[in-house]
A and B are shown apart, each in its own frame.
Chain A
Amino acid sequence: MTAPQPKSSGRTEDRVALSARGLTKVYRTGEVEVHALRGLDLDLRESELVVLLGPSASGKSTLLNILGGLDTPTSGQVSFRGVELSAHDEAAQTRYRRDHVGFVFQFYNLIPSLTALENVSLVTEIARAPMAPADALALVRLSDRLDHFPAQLSGGEQQRVAIARAIAKQPDILLCDEPTGALDSETGILVLEAIEKVNRELGTTTALITHNRMIADMADRVFCFGDGRIVDTWTNERRRPAHELEW
């Protein structure tokens, strides 16, 4: 599989990058069964930016984990560019994450002992066709903070380093789980701008989890979650630029 060519616009294409069919996920804790996903179908198209919207425990994180190769469904299939992800091969899942997926966490999860540049290098060193770490940081407008350790960066800056780390390997898919959850709105918007920019300039297929309805406006498509199912889907006529968002 080759990395897709950068696109100059965020216009959606019809080719499907990730597709999920009939996904269910049941957690068993003792005698209680929790149905996190109840037969869910979903396609993520190449280069589009989707927002997964919903209250907590609605199943959106579970879906993201399964799409990212961190978790396996109880039933159903996930295919990446037509190839089914094998649920039982841990090494294959590690390879999938390494080569194709970029993660952005709610709590950044930077390695405290590495500088911003080194945190990004951590990933580019094991990636197949990475961009230069400094370029990735430039993309999120942190060129002047390359040599700072996480402890010397603000929360928003740390999250932008995390985004740079996620996109530096030029992933095919960028998965962001509540990337602004730990940030104030002003800083959150800076982070969303970075994600938007990556999606627009590199054409990375991006899925973003949030419970903040305002953020949905920046997506190509929006999936609304409720009780393990997609309860609503819509396509935005016009993606609202992140800097216009407000909450």
Chain B
Amino acid sequence: MRALDRKLVRDLSRLRGQVIAIALVVASGVAVLVMSLSSIEALEDTAAAYYERYRFAEVFANVKRAPEKLAERIAEIDGVQTVETRIVEFATLDVEGFEEPVTGQLVSIPERRESVLNRLALRAGRLVAPGHPDEVVLSEPFAGAHGLGPGDRLRATVNGRKRTLDIVGIALSPEYVYAIGPGQLMPDDKRFGILWIGREALEAAFDLEGAFNAVSLSLLRGTSAPEAIARLDRLLDRYGGIGAYERADQLSNWFLMNEIKQLKSITSILPAIFLIVAAFLSNMVLARLIATERGEIGLMKAFGYGNAEVGWHYTKMVIVITGIGVLLGWAAGAWLGRFNTEIYAELYRFPFLFFRPGPAVFAVAGLVSLAAALLGSLGAVRRAVRLPPAEAMRPPAPPLYRRTGVSARWLDQPTRIVLRQLLRWPLRSFLTATGIAMAVAVLVTSMQWLDSIDRIVDVYFHEAQRQDVTVGLTESRSREVTRDFARMPGVQAVEPGRIVSVTFRAGPRSHRGAIQGVVPKPQLSLVYDVSGVSLRVPSSGLLLSTMLARKLGVGRGDLVWVEVLEGRRPVLQVPVARLFETYIGMPAYMSLAALDRLLLESPRVDYVHLLVDRTAEPALFADLKALPAVSSVTLLRAAVDTFNETMAETLMIYVSFFVVFACILAFGVVYNSVRIALSERGRELATLRVLGFGHAEIAYILLGEVALIVFCALPLGCLVGYALAWFMTTGFETELFRVPLVVQPSTYGWAVAIGLTAALTSAYLVRQRLGRLDLIAVLKTRE
């Protein structure tokens, strides 16, 4: 090993505290990026492979009842590759030991062959046998939530008839990656499950012999889906079709893609901020580190080393330090990425997981970090190398200070030293403050997510919804049923609602969604603007969420074409009466009366919201389970719990990683700043010790400066954190979620507390070193 390389190794070992701190800062940036990008990549790869392997259909359509023969005509549509007809219905389930009614979605599977589309990934047991109408395959999450398995039984009310079903298998399906019940936002595996039953058994149960009520298609490559959909719609029209839709609009896939997109939004911004902050910090720290090597650089040049050799020596030092960080970051990032992906795979119930992050992710993270570190240090190396050796070996001339501002008589000398030091190098003080501020800012930005989600939950579940239970009906009923519900046990108030599938069109833009019919002055489920206003529903016209209005490019007073996808399928122009802001979804409302007029129907109802006396709930649930007209029962309480649980399992864990990395960042910056200040000022402090100053007094001079910088940095960090949060929430917008910019005082408090802890820990570590200052060396030599 060459002498210079040996020096490098020893220098690194001498500076190990700082080397580790810088490497950790670099590692944080790299790990966050690798973690985020690799888990997205894995999610996308897994979803794609799952869809492909289990032949997830590309076009879906529901009808009231269509003859099986129609399947042949559907297969003749240009570009259609495969057709699978099915029966899909709802049933109320009664799970032993679970008080609340459970909604089951019944999906038919062929009894004598395997499905050609939407195949099941069998996890346990077997598929149903022909001629056994009570055999059923259960979706794995639902089975898991209730501890059910092959051999167990389940009671169900199927089309008004009580049945006992035998569970023979447990499976997953690409169609129900994100299995959500009617009116739910998050999968609630206790209250919603999929049951696959033999086709013939379902035909018999729903009087659909020789007929189907759902069809899915796969298309030949290069086929235009909208064209195929249009032709399919024409075929299904007379059988009560409510409009075919593409895979992109399929509920499970739509949620999954939205989640991935949401994850991408977070990951495109937060890690970028992290990487930039980490790069900035390593840059700053390395530049100062090399500046303290001035004497050694002079010495090396005096020995006859050329500028290039000296420059390369320090460049290697930077590469090694950054390299340690990059390697650490890669390892931590890949591990966390896998961990993260597993969490998501758990939520989405993939039967397998593809975690094979490509080299690009690692390369980008590594190169950005290395480049930033090199850029930062090269300036310092160049400055050091440019000095003639003799001058470099002499201590730098005492810097010129000015008296400005800090000559007040009441200031003692140590305080003057602190203040003049800050003012003499305002840029350096500013950069250090900025570094600490950035660490605090990243903390604020990361933790702000939790505040935002709290706010979303508050608005969506607590402010806008006041019902306890929402009961969905198997098909729309006369509004008279409202009174029947009012008479049920414990019911204190009833509010009827309608939901109608429609396609909105405005010029070239369209959106397939639904209009909800609500009473003029809702008391339970409000038409709620996030500003805290509950809207009255006008007697005519549409209330559009701003996100939907933006998608359609319309505003208040504009006309929107509404194509109703059920019943008589009227197409009408409806004015937009008012817009309102939501955080979740893209709802559209109309008054019940106006919707009836639009549909050319008598007053009907699809669901009712109930306000319930909690003590009477068991009786109510028992009654609801027995009602054949009931297709789903949703408890608001349960929905909130599910939402919070899901968030705790996914986003919270994700955010907590960011918080941990931000802590490392904060510590790395503060420790390095203090440690370098110590190397720069060791001689001065030792002189003071010789002059009779005690440990505490010199610690005041060194740490006082850092404390002042930290105190300026903390509020600055909160400010920058707010700005970053604003930037991120603005950039974060999906059809499913908008994230409000909410930063609770406690979030600032935590960020500041963590920043302070990092500062105090660093101060403590450096304070220990002050005890070991060499008082004798200071008398003779310099640096």
Contact = CB atoms under 8 A, between A and B. Distances in A.
B401 A113 contact: yes
Interface stretch (B415-423, B435-443, B586-594): B415-423
A127 B692 CA distance: 9
Interface in B679-738: 683-684, 687-694, 697
Interface string A106-133: 1101111111001101110111000000
Interface string A96-112: 01110101011101111
Interface stretch (A144-152, A220-228, A239-247): A144-152
Interface string B374-413: 0000000000000000000001011111110000000011
**Interface size for chain B: under 10, 10 to 19, 20 to 34, or 35 or more residues?**
20 to 34
Nearest to B683: A109
B420 A114 contact: yes
Nearest to B697: A126
A207 B35 CA distance: 66
A161 to B, nearest CB: 12
Interface stretch (B161-169, B311-319, B562-570, B773-781): B773-781
A121 to B, nearest CB: 5
Contacts of A151: 397-401
A105 B420 contact: no
A165 B691 contact: yes
Given A97-B691, A113-B421, A114-B417, A105 B779 contact: yes
B398 to A, nearest CB: 4
Interface in B335-359: none
A34 interface: no
A113 B779 contact: no
B691 A112 contact: no
B523 to A, nearest CB: 70
Interface in B728-783: 775-776, 778-780, 782
Interface string A24-36: 0000000000000
A94 interface: yes
Contacts, number: 97
Residue from A106, A112, A114, A122 whose CB has the most chain B CB atoms within 10 Å: A112
A111 B417 contact: yes
B780 A94 contact: no
Contact of A125 (B400, B412, B420, B776): B412
A68 B779 CA distance: 12
Interface string B658-687: 000000000000000000000000011001
B424 interface: yes
A70 interface: yes
A233 interface: no
Interface string A133-159: 000000000000001011110000000
Given A111-B684, A151-B398, A61 B694 contact: no
Contacts of B420: 113-114
Contacts of B683: 109
A113 B417 contact: yes
B399 A112 contact: yes
Contacts of B689: 94
Contact of A103 (B403, B412, B424, B690): B690
Given A126-B693, A149-B398, A115 B403 contact: yes
A65 interface: yes
Given A113-B421, A152-B400, A103 B691 contact: yes
B413 A125 contact: yes
Nearest to A62: B776
A115 B414 CA distance: 12
Contacts of B421: 113
B773 to A, nearest CB: 11
B413 A149 contact: no
A125 B688 CA distance: 13
A97 B424 contact: no
B684 to A, nearest CB: 6
A172 interface: no
A126 B692 contact: yes
Residue from A71, A97, A119 whose CB has the most chain B CB atoms within 10 Å: A97
18 contacts: A61-B780, A65-B779, A94-B689, A94-B693, A97-B691, A101-B692, A107-B780, A111-B417, A112-B401, A113-B421, A114-B416, A114-B420, A118-B416, A119-B413, A121-B413, A122-B414, A149-B398, A152-B400
Minimum-distance CB pairs A-B, first 4 = A98-B692, A113-B420, A112-B398, A122-B413
Given A97-B692, A114-B416, A149-B400, 9 more contacts: A68-B690, A113-B416, A113-B420, A119-B413, A126-B692, A147-B403, A150-B398, A151-B399, A169-B692
